[in-house]
Amino acid sequence: MKLVFAIVHDEDTPRLMAELNKAGFRVTKLNSSGGFLRSGNTTLMIVVEVEKLQEVLDLIRKYSSSRRSAINSMTPMPMGGESMPYPVDVTVGGATVFVVNVEQFEKM
Protein backbone atom coordinates (compact mmCIF):
# COMPACT_ATOMS: atom_id res chain seq x y z
CA MET A 1 0.00 0.00 0.00
CA LYS A 2 0.99 3.61 -0.55
CA LEU A 3 0.09 6.85 1.19
CA VAL A 4 -0.23 9.81 -1.14
CA PHE A 5 0.16 13.31 0.28
CA ALA A 6 -1.07 15.81 -2.32
CA ILE A 7 -0.73 19.51 -1.56
CA VAL A 8 -3.09 21.36 -3.90
CA HIS A 9 -4.41 24.91 -4.28
CA ASP A 10 -7.70 25.59 -2.46
CA GLU A 11 -9.41 26.42 -5.76
CA ASP A 12 -8.68 22.91 -7.07
CA THR A 13 -9.63 20.99 -3.92
CA PRO A 14 -13.43 20.57 -4.28
CA ARG A 15 -13.31 19.25 -7.83
CA LEU A 16 -10.30 17.01 -7.17
CA MET A 17 -11.90 15.51 -4.06
CA ALA A 18 -15.16 14.91 -5.94
CA GLU A 19 -13.33 13.15 -8.77
CA LEU A 20 -11.26 11.02 -6.37
CA ASN A 21 -14.42 10.03 -4.47
CA LYS A 22 -16.25 9.28 -7.71
CA ALA A 23 -13.39 6.93 -8.66
CA GLY A 24 -13.78 5.13 -5.31
CA PHE A 25 -10.88 6.63 -3.35
CA ARG A 26 -11.28 7.81 0.24
CA VAL A 27 -9.62 11.14 0.94
CA THR A 28 -8.67 12.88 4.17
CA LYS A 29 -8.48 16.67 3.87
CA LEU A 30 -6.16 18.87 5.94
CA ASN A 31 -6.17 22.66 5.62
CA SER A 32 -2.71 24.13 5.18
CA SER A 33 -1.12 27.31 3.88
CA GLY A 34 1.78 27.99 1.59
CA GLY A 35 4.90 29.75 2.75
CA PHE A 36 5.86 31.81 -0.30
CA LEU A 37 2.55 33.49 -1.16
CA ARG A 38 0.73 32.45 2.01
CA SER A 39 -2.05 31.27 -0.24
CA GLY A 40 -4.60 28.71 0.81
CA ASN A 41 -3.61 25.13 0.20
CA THR A 42 -5.14 21.82 1.11
CA THR A 43 -3.20 18.66 1.89
CA LEU A 44 -5.02 15.52 0.81
CA MET A 45 -4.08 12.11 2.20
CA ILE A 46 -5.05 9.04 0.19
CA VAL A 47 -4.19 5.43 1.04
CA VAL A 48 -4.15 3.35 -2.12
CA GLU A 49 -3.16 -0.09 -3.32
CA VAL A 50 -0.03 -0.07 -5.46
CA GLU A 51 -2.05 -1.13 -8.53
CA LYS A 52 -4.26 1.98 -8.20
CA LEU A 53 -1.46 4.49 -7.53
CA GLN A 54 -1.14 5.65 -11.15
CA GLU A 55 -4.90 6.27 -11.34
CA VAL A 56 -4.71 8.56 -8.29
CA LEU A 57 -1.69 10.40 -9.69
CA ASP A 58 -3.45 10.87 -13.03
CA LEU A 59 -6.52 12.37 -11.32
CA ILE A 60 -4.35 14.74 -9.28
CA ARG A 61 -2.49 15.80 -12.43
CA LYS A 62 -5.74 16.33 -14.34
CA TYR A 63 -7.60 18.37 -11.69
CA SER A 64 -4.74 20.38 -10.13
CA SER A 65 -3.95 23.02 -12.68
CA SER A 66 -1.28 25.66 -12.39
CA ARG A 67 -2.15 29.20 -13.37
CA ARG A 68 -0.49 32.61 -13.68
CA SER A 69 -1.35 35.24 -11.09
CA ALA A 70 -0.13 38.79 -10.49
CA ILE A 71 1.05 39.75 -7.02
CA ASN A 72 2.34 43.05 -5.72
CA SER A 73 5.97 42.91 -4.70
CA MET A 74 7.37 45.77 -2.67
CA THR A 75 10.43 47.14 -4.44
CA PRO A 76 12.71 49.37 -2.35
CA MET A 77 13.51 52.70 -3.92
CA PRO A 78 17.15 53.80 -4.29
CA MET A 79 18.56 56.39 -1.90
CA GLY A 80 16.41 55.26 1.05
CA GLY A 81 13.03 56.17 -0.42
CA GLU A 82 9.85 54.30 0.44
CA SER A 83 9.02 50.97 -1.15
CA MET A 84 6.67 50.93 -4.12
CA PRO A 85 4.33 48.09 -5.10
CA TYR A 86 5.47 46.42 -8.30
CA PRO A 87 3.27 43.77 -10.00
CA VAL A 88 5.01 40.44 -10.62
CA ASP A 89 3.57 37.42 -12.47
CA VAL A 90 3.96 34.12 -10.61
CA THR A 91 2.74 30.59 -11.21
CA VAL A 92 0.31 29.31 -8.57
CA GLY A 93 -1.61 26.09 -8.23
CA GLY A 94 -0.57 22.72 -9.49
CA ALA A 95 0.22 20.04 -6.94
CA THR A 96 3.11 18.82 -4.86
CA VAL A 97 2.81 15.07 -4.30
CA PHE A 98 4.63 12.74 -1.93
CA VAL A 99 4.16 8.97 -2.09
CA VAL A 100 5.32 6.88 0.86
CA ASN A 101 5.14 3.20 1.70
CA VAL A 102 2.51 2.08 4.22
CA GLU A 103 3.54 -0.76 6.45
CA GLN A 104 0.14 -1.14 8.09
CA PHE A 105 -3.28 0.45 7.56
CA GLU A 106 -6.41 -0.03 9.69
CA LYS A 107 -9.73 1.75 9.46
CA MET A 108 -11.27 1.84 12.95
40-76 pLDDT, tens digit per residue, is 789 999 999 999 999 999 999 999 876 666 666 655 5
pLDDT of residue 75: 59
**Phi, psi for 75 (deg, rounded to 5):** -105, 120
Across the range 7-32, mean pLDDT stands at 92
pTM above 0.85, yes or no: no
Residue 63 lies in a domain: yes
Domain membership flag for residue 12: yes
Model confidence at 10, pLDDT cuts 50, 70, 90, reads: confident
Q: How confident is the model at residue 11 (pLDDT cuts 50, 70, 90)?
A: confident
Mean pLDDT of the chain: 82
Q: What pLDDT does 34 receive?
A: 65
For a pLDDT cut of 70, what percent of the chain falls above it?
A: 68
The reply to whether 107 falls in a domain is no
Answer whether residue 68 is part of any domain: yes
Q: What is the Cα–Cα distance from 94 to 76, expressed in whole angstroms? A: 31
CATH number at residue 83: 3.30.70.120
Question: Which range marks the domain in which residue 50 is found?
Answer: 2-101
Report the number of distinct structural domains present in the chain.
1
Whose CA is closest to 67, among 11, 7, 5? 11
